[in-house]
Chains A and B, each alone.
Chain A
Amino acid sequence: MPDPQVTAELAYKHGLSPEEWERVLSILGRTPTYPELGIFSVMWSEHCSYKSSRVHLKRFPTGGPQVLQGPGENAGVVDIGDGWAVCFKMESHNHPSYIEPYQGAATGVGGILRDVFTMGARPIANLNALFFGRPDHPKTAHLVKGVVAGIGDYGNCIGVPTVGGQVMFHPSYDGNILVNAFTLGLLRADGIFRGYASGVGNPVLYVGSKTGRDGIHGATMASAEFSEATEEKRPTVQVGDPFTEKLLLEACLELMAEDVIVGIQDMGAAGLTSSSFEMAGRSGSGIRFELDKVPMREKGMTPYELLLSESQERMLIVAQRGKENRVREIFSKWGLDAAEIGAVTDTGRAEIFWHGERVVDMPVGPVSDQAPLYKRPMEEPAGFRSRKSVPLPALKKADQGRALLTLMGSPNLCSKRWVYTQYDQSVRTNTVLGPGADAALIRIKGTTKAVAMTTDVNPRFCKLDPFEGGRLAVAEAARNIACVGAKPLAITDCLNFGNPERPEVMWEFSRAVDGISEACLALNTPVVSGNVSFYNETNGEGIHPTPTIGMVGLLDDVARRMDPWFKDEGDLVVVLGETKGHLGGSEYLWAIHGMEAGAPPPLDLQRETALIGLLQELAAKGLAKSVHDCSEGGLAVCAAECGLAPRRTLGAHLELESAGLDAAALLFGEDASRALVTCASIHQEGLLAAARQAGIQAKAVGAAGGDRLRISVDGQPSVDVPMAEIRDAWENGLGSVVG
């Protein structure tokens, strides 16, 4: 079949705007060929070009002595000392996962794994942050089951443990679920590989799976809103093959141990096109290749299809001239294709041939890094201010024990055991703390070190105030890292938002970026990698702003780790931080009163920094026996969770002073910068002195022990519930969703 005639109409159908089409014509000085139009359309899609977000992302702090590789590469790299480094990134796979949850989520995991091992790192841990629609939405159970099975089957097969993350349910995701996948890998600090196509004459090799017709225009699909017709886009979702990825991983790492590779890049979104253009673009070189040499899975594929296919488990390698045979040997050992398809040039152009015919001839620079850049209009959403000042309902009459049980069994706060038992959490034998802890902790064999990691965001806070929500997400992530005793190092982010062409969405985006930036600066956790996912909208309904933060920290001595669980009868329970009873945007208001209103709790970054320092000090000096972040669900939920260790249940008796606060606000308020810690009574003085020194309020409120959680307020019993009932509600909460 001959290529269709390229016209302005065809360009618009490819998602290019009239201005962008004019720009294409002026760059080329002629009408593009059909394959060239395909290249412009994917390279200039929102997904690949970040054309709406780049002006804002520049505001992120990205540097620091710990940063070995910041944004712009396949993943970020951070130094952890002793010659070791960790490489990590988080990426969204939202649109495909809604259309086909199993394959969408699976290939999301596959893609992020490749981003990490293409840098030379062996992946050692996965996390994922999942956001589904309301629990009783007719599609939710199907989507949850498909996504969880897809994530599990991919990670389990390749042998990388999935050790944590988050799962949330909210009606704003009814038509647009979010699947944010995070991978962390370990590498030598002097062994980083990058996506460069340099050295004129060096061979360009295609390795991994053969190319098929799957996923064509996936990147373009991810750059538009959903509508009723979206499910017809199922063919744009790729199909994952974790077995091939495992072989690709081992082959790449084996090759990287030798001096063969000049540059390497994953073929992810926009496949061969983006990998070749980005590699040449980064090194300011040119690239020439012959598409007919690409290993193909199907007969009759066209240059257009080969360039745009998003078939999985493929990489592009630029090797040193003369060493291409070594690449072939190692890939053949692992049963994989390695085809030399072209070479690096100094023309600054991409010249692509099909059986000798030149089908693409265009300058690399303007396509790869001079993509359109938009400063889209922004506008504060109507109702933004009024939502924040809604008066909260009268709370006094509620039964607090009942409210606690409702919260513990609510889909957002209940145990996610049904989810994480489907993930291999312990393969590679490094998992010191897995799902259920404040942060996952992965030890580094051969050292005393461990790496802590977590994902956090509270979309409700972000909806009510995206600036505060962004700050709070970073602060909570850092606090979670410190709760296990580690020092926060850096973040990656997945910025999931609605349609950027709507000024209110762009305003939310910009405010969230500012909030994240401010908190990252204060906490010294630069942004080293990440991605943006716009157009999470269906029929004009956008998701809550969801800037997911993936944070990584370092614990120098893994023996000094902390976990959240009460240890012994009689251990003293101490609240660190101030409780003012902020219920705005809280889980309590949502789960008990069906309300989503008020202002998110205020955050003092100086105090947060002090608390994070204190938590590390308590762990290092062995002053505490357990440490747990106090956030969603407030103090009461936090205390209940501390009693629910994996193989043990332990109650507590706490006596709180209301200081004039309503009991519900005191028990369930979500004030920032707090933690619940326990210590042996001999360490009480030391712990309180350390807190005083750090300028953090610390109050001993009771003791762990018994088989009930009892909380009194001003001497009056407020909560008195058997721990067995709490455990039952908590463990069976997801049953209402997945059956």
Chain B
Amino acid sequence: MKVGVVVFPGSNCDHDALEWSSRLLGLPTEEIWYQDRDLRGVDLVILPGGFSYGDYLRCGAMAARAPIMDEVVAHARRGGLVIGICNGFQVLCEVGLLPGALLRNRSLTFLCQDVYLRVETTGSPWTSAMRRGEILRVPIAHGDGNYFCDPETLHRLLGEDRVAFRYVSPGGTLDPEWNVNGSLDAIAGILSEKKNVLGMMPHPERASEDMVGSTDGLGIFKSVMGALCG
């Protein structure tokens, strides 16, 4: 399985994503420049976190129009695996691979802290090796992570089992106090219709070693490796 990390101007979690898949999981991984028009045969695309184009227009809006995104969209439409983390999630919403939008945090400030995620479905390649209801401790680091969509879209997401993660209390219950950015229905991550595309605001790549705080973020990649390699 080959992994590609797209580097936009202003991506700053690209190195972390590269480490995550290459050093911690041992997968061949390469950087893909945003101006390229070739995914070089990778099986899985990571759109990393950061501030592509400084978030100056609207988070992810400029990056969604970068040349490489045509290839990423085509890859996703073919059923290829794509994960967008933080700014990458914002790009996926802007390019239309995932529905909804990420609004300013409820606090109107940037927030970097550990949050607790509840695994809401195991019916996706990203979560298949986890337990439904499992609680993950993973950091967030964003100013615009407040997920929003219209009622109809929410209804579809729920009906199609496309909510991957919700923000919950350490004990696993829904609690507005632990939905720190104020996301609609406490949504932290969602899946595409075919479940091959995952967008999430929290950073699993920062929660994959005990030394830096948590290993709960490894499950996502392990699920995917299981799904791909059998």
Contacts and interface: CB of A to CB of B under 8 A. Distances in A.
Interface of A: 149, 152-153, 156-159, 241-244, 246-247, 334-335, 420-432, 443, 445, 558, 646-647
Nearest to A335: B9
Interface stretch (B36-44, B184-192, B206-214): B206-214
Contacts of B215: none
A246 B112 contact: no
Contact of B112 (A242, A334, A426, A646): A426
Interface string B112-130: 1110000000000000000
Given A426-B203, A427-B206, A157 B10 contact: yes
B154 interface: no
A105 to B, nearest CB: 14
A428 B51 contact: no
B12 A158 contact: yes
Given A335-B9, A422-B112, A157 B51 contact: yes
B9 A247 contact: yes
Given A149-B109, A158-B12, A243 B51 contact: yes
Nearest to B108: A149
A159 B112 CA distance: 13
A237 B196 CA distance: 48
A417 to B, nearest CB: 8
Nearest to B33: A333
A445 B114 CA distance: 22
A124 B166 CA distance: 31
A246 B208 CA distance: 26
B67 interface: no
A111 B51 CA distance: 19
B58 to A, nearest CB: 14
A243 B56 contact: yes
A159 B12 contact: yes
Interface stretch (B13-21, B75-83, B156-164): B13-21
12 contacts: A152-B110, A153-B143, A156-B143, A157-B55, A159-B12, A159-B51, A243-B10, A421-B112, A422-B112, A426-B212, A429-B19, A431-B213
A425 B212 contact: no
The 4 residue pairs across chains A and B that have the minimum distance between CB atoms: A159-B12, A243-B54, A157-B51, A424-B141
Contacts of A425: 112, 141
A247 B213 CA distance: 29
A65 B109 CA distance: 44
Contact of A427 (B10, B13, B109, B211): B13
B111 interface: yes
Most chain A CB atoms below 10 A, which of B19, B109, B114, B170: B109
A427 B12 contact: yes
A39 B141 CA distance: 43
B211 A432 contact: yes
A144 to B, nearest CB: 12
Interface in B67-119: 109-114
Given A422-B111, A423-B112, A428 B56 contact: no
Contacts of A153: 110, 143
A125 B185 CA distance: 35
Contacts of B209: 429
A428 B56 CA distance: 22
Contacts of B56: 243
Contact of A421 (B53, B111, B208, B212): B111
A425 B19 CA distance: 18
B139 interface: yes
A82 B198 CA distance: 40
A429 B16 contact: yes
B213 A246 contact: no
B54 A430 contact: no
A426 B111 CA distance: 12
Contacts of A429: 16, 19, 205-206, 208-209, 212
Nearest to A336: B9
B50 interface: yes
Contacts of A558: 211
A443 B213 CA distance: 13
Nearest to B111: A421
A157 B111 contact: no
B206 A432 contact: no
